[in-house]
Amino acid sequence: SPTSPALAAKKKEFNIAWTIYVGWMPWPYAAEAGIVKKWADKYGITINVTQINDYVESINQYTAGKFDGVTVTNMDALTIPAAGGVDTTAVIMGDYSNGNDGVVLKKGKTLADIKGQKINLVELSVSHYLLARGLSTVKLDEKDIKTVNTSDADIVAAAKSPDTTAIVTWNPQLLEVKAEPGASLVFDSSKIPGEIQDLLVLNSETLKDNPEIAKALTGIWYETIALMKDSGEKGKAAREAMAKLSGTDLAGFETQLKTTHMYYAPKDGADFMTGAELPRIMDLVRSFCFEHNLLGENVKSKDAVGIQTPTSTLGSATNVKLRFDPSFMKLAADGKL
Amino acid sequence: MTRAMNVVPPRGGRILLAMLPFVLIAIIYVIGSAERRAANPDDKLLPPISEMAATTKRLAAEPDRRSGEYVLWVDTAASLRRLALGLGIAAAVGLAIGLTIGLLPVAGAGFGTLFAVLSMIPPMAVLPILFIVFGLGELSKVMLIIIGVTPTLIRDLSLEVSAMPREQLIKAQTLGASTWQVAIRVVLPQIMPRLLKCLRLMIGPAFLFLISAEAIASDVGLGYRIFLVRRYLSMDVILPYVVWITLLAFLLDLALVYIGRRAFPWAFVQEPR
Amino acid sequence: MTRAMNVVPPRGGRILLAMLPFVLIAIIYVIGSAERRAANPDDKLLPPISEMAATTKRLAAEPDRRSGEYVLWVDTAASLRRLALGLGIAAAVGLAIGLTIGLLPVAGAGFGTLFAVLSMIPPMAVLPILFIVFGLGELSKVMLIIIGVTPTLIRDLSLEVSAMPREQLIKAQTLGASTWQVAIRVVLPQIMPRLLKCLRLMIGPAFLFLISAEAIASDVGLGYRIFLVRRYLSMDVILPYVVWITLLAFLLDLALVYIGRRAFPWAFVQEPR
Amino acid sequence: MSALSFRNVWVEYGNQVVLERINLEIASGTFLSVVGPSGAGKSTFLRLILGQERPAQGAVLLDGEPFPAEPGPDRGIVFQRYSVFPHLTVLGNVLIGYEFAERKFSARLFGSARREAIEKSRALIDAVGLGPHADKYPSALSGGMQQRLAIAQALAKQPRVLLLDEPFGALDPGTRAQMHALIKPLWRDLKMTIVMVTHDIKEAFGLATRLIALDKTRRDPQAPERYGANITYDLDLTRDSAVPVLGFLRAQVEAQQ
Amino acid sequence: MSALSFRNVWVEYGNQVVLERINLEIASGTFLSVVGPSGAGKSTFLRLILGQERPAQGAVLLDGEPFPAEPGPDRGIVFQRYSVFPHLTVLGNVLIGYEFAERKFSARLFGSARREAIEKSRALIDAVGLGPHADKYPSALSGGMQQRLAIAQALAKQPRVLLLDEPFGALDPGTRAQMHALIKPLWRDLKMTIVMVTHDIKEAFGLATRLIALDKTRRDPQAPERYGANITYDLDLTRDSAVPVLGFLRAQVEAQQ
Ligand SMILES: Nc1ncnc2c1ncn2[C@@H]1O[C@H](COP(=O)(O)OP(=O)(O)OP(=O)(O)O)[C@@H](O)[C@H]1O
Ligand SMILES: Nc1ncnc2c1ncn2[C@@H]1O[C@H](COP(=O)(O)OP(=O)(O)OP(=O)(O)O)[C@@H](O)[C@H]1O
Ligand SMILES: [Mg+2]
Ligand SMILES: [Mg+2]
């Protein structure tokens, strides 16, 4: 269709969608503080940063072509746009979850106690992935438990219900669930560091024709998170604003930030992308996705969708749909933006 | 020349006319789908009809790889059970309270405003409280339907009762009827057709609440499946499910019309124009 | 002894009776809240009324530290604008189509089934498509209300038109009226009270759709705020918002009743019993 | 005993006075005809006796007692507009009176009690000439047939006071004569008090033992709503003297000559 | 010209035959009275002329042409049950006929055209005696007043054929005489064809130039629905000869003696 950015060549206006999550709060702050406009002007383009409340809807809209870029986790980038044929490139490796996602039991103290329980979680999400990874560490299988799909917006309320015994969720909901009397956190994402990544992805087609959008976005990102990291008054004000935007206060926001491994330095993000870890992680992720039919019901092998990292290509080389491109982070690291 | 309002299409023409807009919609869909596929061969948003048919066949006729269940039928059974329970209880409660409020001025004064206000509360917004009170199991799903549908039923039925010709209520009293007798022999049978009509209008909202409840916490059901596969934009599952839900709702609607015509022939004597 | 159905409470008693259930609910809430607080001093589910009052004051009377806006009022204005637009357009479209389908047998045959089917599609399930087609701006939120409300309006109004006494339509024709004249001078004014009644019944669903739309894509509005704080289970914000929405809806309802009585006195002459 | 008294009764709708200063004693067992021009307040007069309308001033008494302000089985009514139960067949419409009386809770009869009630109902239905239509719903009856059904319904309860609002207006002369032949002996045997509104002067004189005319006695052309109707004629028809021609009938008498 | 012809017309509801083998020629300018027992099919007969009902067999012709199968301004009607527009005042109910005719699109009159139409309407409203009630809604009118309003409404259009279904049934004799005095000259001056159903034999004979009686000629007690009504009497009232007593009236005549 003519609105599809896949067909668009040179353009001047770009739409980026974001959703509320601790690792993505720099985006609205940057928009509000004028950082977005500053960098957009520098590259002679316009960037609209739009909030979508529903995370899945934001990715769906990106996949349908309504947005040129979106904030997304590595797993969802693979299963929704990439599996949906939209060639997608991750240009910013923002952070990975280092405890932001967790498994909480109301009955039981260790992960092994989960056996036979009913678990409330957002099925087929990173929570599900975390659970699967956790189960494998205690030699359990998904057959040993029962999952109940529970909306992320309502999971805190669900956790209060007396008949709920096990929950897998992410922050800020995780903080609320953990605080339930008698609840214990038995597994979290800090046990699988780097596996749940928060990215900014762009449509590869748009990126190829308009590299300046990636440059502008990278510039915005690193300027903003530098502010966020700042320990002085300016940093505090920025973090407070971000907290407000995500519906919490400074203390709550900083608690969440603690369990988020931010790549404040562009070089660290780029290094992670070019490292040997990434292909191993993506292989784990795509295996999980394939086993749960997330790559499409008719897909016969986990190789169907190709994933390209700077060091290697996983799966079909002729059907690469998810790419990791560290070049813009490198430009930032080199101060060439 | 005959006035437009007096032109009655013949029986055959009527069926053709009724089909026409559906055929048009199907054609528009096919074109839209083909266009998107031309631009992106893996497009998931508007899958071609052949692909949806294949998915439907797999969901309805092949056991699931992991659970061994026939997904479509398991989902349908679970959802219909919840829907039937919810609508059934809502109908009974709505009928009883609506009749009381409409017939007794004292009850109307005491509870009319209450239910007018209750019917305005968005049920989704108070879900957390519902969860605590009714748990996360089947009960809370059925309750969401009941809570969503009953206040409207109550309001509509009580308005209907108070709009009944006063002459009839007076006539009944001159025939010696007590309030209770008026309620069960005069008012109740006369609002039953209205109840059916209301229920027909409420099928849509009831499905809406059911799907929302299943989207929030569930492990089986039509709404569960739709929201599960929404995670990877499987429109080839969502669209057939939506069509299936619409078909189910439409059949339920037809069934209610049929029941109405059989059970309350007097209400339909003059209806066909 | 007077029959229960003939006991009419006096004016003052009626108001007292109407208040009673609300007072009861408030008392139950206060007790429940106190109990939960006693068990867990950090309980968030049923905050005491004092806490909710403080939160409300903060949202309504203190400018937001960052934006300088009065959150409650900004949310209310945004939501009411969407609601008014959505309901207004739905009413106009519903009236036009409902009247046409009810009055013209050909239109009824052609589109009656279509709208019966359309009214059964759960709008939430096709949300992704709606957002794609109508974008993510104000339009899609208004559209969700329109799509959710209009088919029901169309069905109800067209049923109402076809239930009009045939004698009146025939009388109008013997007075020389064309189809168009029958529509605007005989049918339209007589279904206006019904439209108002329908709109009253649709206020609840309209708010539901609005809140759902705002929960998915928005950055201001009553539904957005509820969605935003739901993850923290901030019932001290959610409950006042729910009460506020209910109050708004109830006032809207009263306004529609008032408009109906002023504009269509003939429809209410016999109503008070 | 079922004597009715009106003591200085006024009825008003908003600022329109409909009836004013009505003083009337109706002895038990009277067959009272009420005549008067259209819109005079005849139906309103009946509604007062029924307890459906309360006087703005004054009181209506039954056997000297203040009136129960609600309709009851002691006062039957046939309304001016057909008012049968649309959801019951002809038979069901008559039967329901017996069912109300005999089964307080279920209001339904079964077995032999039902057969008996059906028999009584059928006799009444045959008497009003609806025998072949016993299983039809009211919507399939002609206007006059519905009116006859309403009459059968009211008679089933054998009320002490029977109120008839133009009961035979929609009937052809043949059927009307049948109805007269039905009601007169019932009135005599059951010692009912009957109040009948009619426009048929022959009928009014032929059936009744007493006749009153309702009409406005004063008119203000600028404010027609300021004055209500009153009793302008009150004739005892049991005396064997000549009956005076009613003033307000003159136009009609002239027109027919 | 407005002559009506019935050629072997049958009307059936489901398996019930209502009218059978009706053959009738009604000359233009006739004032035809239709009498017959309740439920005979008189209203159905009018609905046929109106185009509201289609015959199961046979044809109804207007001036020899097949009938337009829909109601039109050439045929006015006053229904048996009051059928005025509830959402318009008395004045609005009469006015709307003029508005339909003169403003195709808006169906509303303004300015001097409106004033003129209001004048004509008021004259009619005064003629039926509703002058002081011109601003009331129908729900605040008595039964007879609604009926008079319906008459005024139908007369406003001066139709070629006027159909009256017991138009004066709910009126007192005085008002009824007024209505007769109103309609007779209009019929003469406008050369209308009037078909009037009535139960009042005096009225039927007094106003009409021709009278027909509808009744069943054959009855099967086991299956009353198998036979429909037919024309049992057809009297020309313009001849100066004695009029025979109608058979089906005997009961009534006897009862009144
Ligand atoms: N609900 C009402 N609201 C206002 N006025 C009313 C109402 N009902 C009746 N009226 C007025 O009361 C007066 C008497 O009405 P009523 O029905 O008693 O007359 P009636 O004598 O029975 O006439 P008819 O012979 O035509 O039936 C009328 O002028 C009428 O306009
Ligand atoms: N909608 C209908 N469905 C079935 N039967 C009907 C319907 N309308 C009328 N009938 C039947 O048709 C017959 C004639 O009815 P119609 O109304 O023409 O009688 P009528 O001569 O006008 O009687 P009345 O003097 O009582 O008004 C009746 O026996 C009635 O039962
Ligand atoms: Mg009256
Ligand atoms: Mg008739």
Note the pLDDT of residue A90: 95
- Residue B97: is it exposed, middle or buried by C-beta count within 10 angstroms (0-12/13-18/19+)? buried
- C181 contacts E100? CB cut-off 8 A: yes
Are D49 and D163 in contact by the 8 Å Cβ rule? The answer is yes
Are the CB atoms for E41 and D168 separated by under 8 Å?
Answer: no
Task: Give distance in angstroms: CA of D11 to centre of ligand 3.
Answer: 15
Query: What pLDDT does D119 receive?
Result: 94
Pocket of ligand 2 (CB under 6 A): D 140-145, 170; E 13, 16, 18, 36, 38-44, 80
Task: Quickly count: other Cβ atoms within 10 Å of residue C65's Cβ.
Answer: 9
How does pLDDT run across C135-190, given as a tens digit for each residue? Answer: 777 888 899 899 989 988 998 899 889 888 888 899 999 998 999 999 999 999 99
Of E77, E107, E159, the CB nearest to C184: E107
Is 70 exceeded by the pLDDT of residue C269? no
Tell whether the torsion through CA atoms of C102, C108, C112 and C113 is positive or negative: positive
What residues in E contact C267, CB-CB < 8 Å?
86-87
Of A209-213, B130-134, B182-186, C62-66, least confident by mean pLDDT is C62-66
Q: For residue E239, name the pLDDT band (cuts at 50, 70, 90).
A: low
Query: Do E136 and E181 reside in the same domain of the chain?
Result: no
Query: Are residues B185 and D73, on separate chains, in Cβ contact within 8 Å?
Result: no
CA of E40 to the centre of ligand 1 (A): 31
Distance from Cα D41 to the centre of ligand 1, integer Å: 6
Same domain, E41 and E89: no
D43 lines ligand 1 (CB under 6 A): yes
Two tokens, residue A225: 């998170």
Domain boundary residue, one of D158, D188, D207: D158
Q: How far is CA B215 from CA A77, C222, D161, in A?
A: 22, 22, 64
List pLDDT tens digits, range C91-132: 999 999 999 999 998 888 888 888 888 888 888 777 777 877
**Residue D107: C-alpha distances to residues A28, B60, C1, D104, E54 (Å):** 70, 50, 20, 6, 43
- Band of pLDDT at residue D1, cut at 50, 70 and 90: low
Report residue D52's pLDDT band, with 50, 70 and 90 as the boundaries.
confident
Verify whether the Cβ–Cβ distance B217 to A149 is below 8 Å: yes
CA distance C113 to C98: 12
Quick one: pLDDT at residue A24? 94
Contacts of B152 in chain C (CB under 8 A): 201, 204
* For residue A204, pLDDT beyond 90: yes
Chain A residues with a Cβ under 8 Å from any Cβ in chain B: 1, 4, 6-7, 56, 59-60, 63-64, 76, 79-80, 83-86, 120, 122-125, 146-151, 154, 156-158, 160-164, 293-294, 296-298, 321
Dihedral angle over CA of E16, E21, E25, E30, nearest 10: -30
How big is the A-C interface in CB pairs under 8 Å?
69
Q: Within 10 Å of residue D116's Cβ, how many Cβ atoms? A: 13
Q: Are A64 and A5 in contact (CB under 8 A)?
A: no
Which class for E110: exposed (0-12), middle (13-18), buried (19 or more C-beta within 10 A)? exposed
Give E71→chain B minimum CA distance, Å: 9
Protein residue with least CA distance to atom 24, ligand 2: E38
Is the pLDDT confidence value at E256 over 50? no
- Whether residue D255 sits in one domain with residue D174: yes
Closest CA to E171 of E73, E78, E37, E60: E78
Which listed ligand is nearest to D45 at the C-alpha?
Answer: 1
Q: Do E21 and E133 belong together in one domain?
A: no
| Ligand 2 atom closest to the CA of D136, numbered from 1 | 31
Cβ proximity of B120 and C253 under 8 Å: yes
- Residue D257's pLDDT is 39
Residue A45: which pLDDT band, with cuts at 50, 70 and 90? very high
Closest CA to A128 of A289, A260, A18: A289
Q: In what order do the strands lie in the sheet with D75-78?
A: D65-66, D57-62, D4-13, D16-26, D229-236, D210-216, D31-35, D193-197, D161-165, D75-78
| Dist. CA A304–CA D70, nearest whole Å | 82
- Residue in C closest to B125 by C-alpha: C242
**List of chain B residues whose C-beta atoms are within 8 Å of the C-beta of residue A123:** 228, 231
Task: Check pLDDT > 90 for residue A239.
Answer: yes
Residue bearing the CA closest to ligand 1, atom 7 = E140
Distance (Å, whole) CA B226 – CA B262 = 36
User: What residues pair up with A105 in beta bridges, in sequence order?
Assistant: A166, A184
Closest residue to atom 30 of ligand 2, CA basis? D141
- Do strands D4-13 and D31-35 pair parallel, antiparallel, or not at all (unpaired)? unpaired
- Please check whether residues E175 and E152 belong to one and the same domain: no
Smallest CA–CA distance, residue C95 to chain D, in Å, is: 29
**A62-89, pLDDT tens digit by residue?**
988 889 999 999 999 999 899 888 999 9
Reported CATH class of domain B49-263: mainly alpha
DSSP for residue D22: E
pLDDT at A189: 93
For every residue of C212-273, which 3-state class applies, written as one string? HHHHHCCCCCHHHHHHHHHCCCCHHHHHHHHHHHHHHHHHHHHHHHHHHHHHCHHHHCCCCC
Of residues C118 and D218, more confidently modeled: C118
- Asked if the model's pLDDT at residue D120 lies above 90, the reply is yes
Instruction: With CB atoms and an 8 Å threshold, state whether D68 touches C3.
Output: no
Identify residue A265 by its one-letter amino acid code. A
pLDDT at C218 > cutoff 60: yes
Give the number of domains in chain E: 2
Residue type, C93: V
Indicate yes or no: CB of D132 within 8 angstroms of CB of E80. no
- In ligand 1, the atom with minimum distance to the C-alpha of E146 is 26
Of C194, C203, C186, which is closest to residue C160 (Cα–Cα)?
C194
User: In the complex, which subunits touch A with 3 or more CB pairs below 8 angstroms?
Assistant: B, C
Flag whether residue B176 sits within 8 Å of chain D, measured between CB atoms. Answer: yes
Q: Does the CB atom of residue E142 touch ligand 1 within 6 A?
A: yes
Q: What pLDDT score was predicted for residue D239?
A: 61
pLDDT at residue C62 is higher than 50: yes
Which of C188, D99, A119 is CA-nearest to residue B184? D99
Query: Does residue D189 sit in the same domain as residue D252?
Result: yes
- Domain of residue D108 covers 83-158
Chain D partners within 8 Å of C3 (Cβ): 70
Using one digit for the tens of pLDDT, what is the confidence trace for B87-119?
Answer: 999 999 999 999 999 999 888 888 888 888 888
From A54, A64, A160, residue closest to C45, measured CB to CB: A160
* Calculated CA dihedral for residues A161, A173, B122, C209, nearest 10 degrees: -130
Considering the domain architecture, whether residues D154 and D169 belong to the same structural domain is answered as no
Whether residues E56 and E126 share a domain: the answer is: no
Rounded CA separation E198/E36 (Å): 8
Closest CA to D2 of D230, D209, D159, D160: D160
CA-E37 nearest atom, ligand 2: 25
Which of A133-142, C238-247, D117-126, E78-87 is predicted least confidently?
E78-87
Residue closest to B118 by CA, chosen among A183, D44, C25: C25
Do C and A make contact via 3 or more CB pairs under 8 A? The reply is: yes
CATH number for the domain harbouring residue D60: 3.40.50.300
Q: Are E111 and E149 in the same domain?
A: yes
Residues C193, C3: Cα–Cα separation, whole Å = 32
Last residue of a domain, one of D106, D131, D158: D158
Length of chain E: 257
Q: What pLDDT, on the 0 to 100 scale, is given for residue C1?
A: 61
List the domain boundaries for chain B.
Answer: 1-46, 49-263
Question: If you measure from the C-alpha of residue D182 to the centroid of ligand 4, how many angstroms do you get, rounded to a whole number?
Answer: 22
Q: If you take atom 14 of ligand 1, which residue's CA is the nearest one?
A: D41
Closest residue by Cα to atom 29, ligand 2, is: E39
DSSP SS3 for B36: helix
Tokens of C255: 């306004």
Instruction: Give D240's pLDDT tier (boundaries 50, 70, 90).
Output: low
- CB distance from B177 to chain D under 8 Å? yes
Question: Whose atoms come closest to the Cα of D170: which ligand?
Answer: 2
What is the interface pTM, i.e. ipTM, of the complex? 0.81
Q: Are residues E115 and E148 in the same domain?
A: yes
Question: Do E128 and E65 reside in the same domain of the chain?
Answer: no
User: pLDDT tens digits for A162-176?
Assistant: 888 999 999 888 988
Is A103 within 8 Å of A52 (Cβ atoms)?
A: no
Set of chain B residues whose Cβ sits within 8 Å of the Cβ of A61: none
- Does C2 lie at the interface with D, CB-CB under 8 angstroms? yes
Residue nearest to atom 28 of ligand 2 (CA): E39
Residue nearest to atom 17 of ligand 2 (CA): D142
Q: End-to-end CA distance of chain D, in Å?
A: 44
| Ligand that comes closest to the CA of residue E38 | 2
pLDDT per residue over B9-33, tens digit each?
A: 888 888 888 889 899 999 999 998 8
Task: Please compute the mean of the pLDDT values over residues A103-121 and round it to a whole number.
Answer: 91
Listed residue (A21, A19, A113, A100) closest to A60, CA to CA: A19
Per-residue pLDDT band at E245 (split at 50, 70, 90): very low
Element (H, E) at D77: strand D75-78
Could you tell me if B167 lies within 8 Å of chain D, comparing CB atoms? yes
* E168 close to D200: Cβ distance less than 8 angstroms: no
Helix (H) or strand (E) holding A24: none
Contact A118, A107 (CB under 8 A): no
- My answer on whether D168 and D257 are in the same domain is yes
Last residue within a domain, chosen from D94, D128, D158:
D158
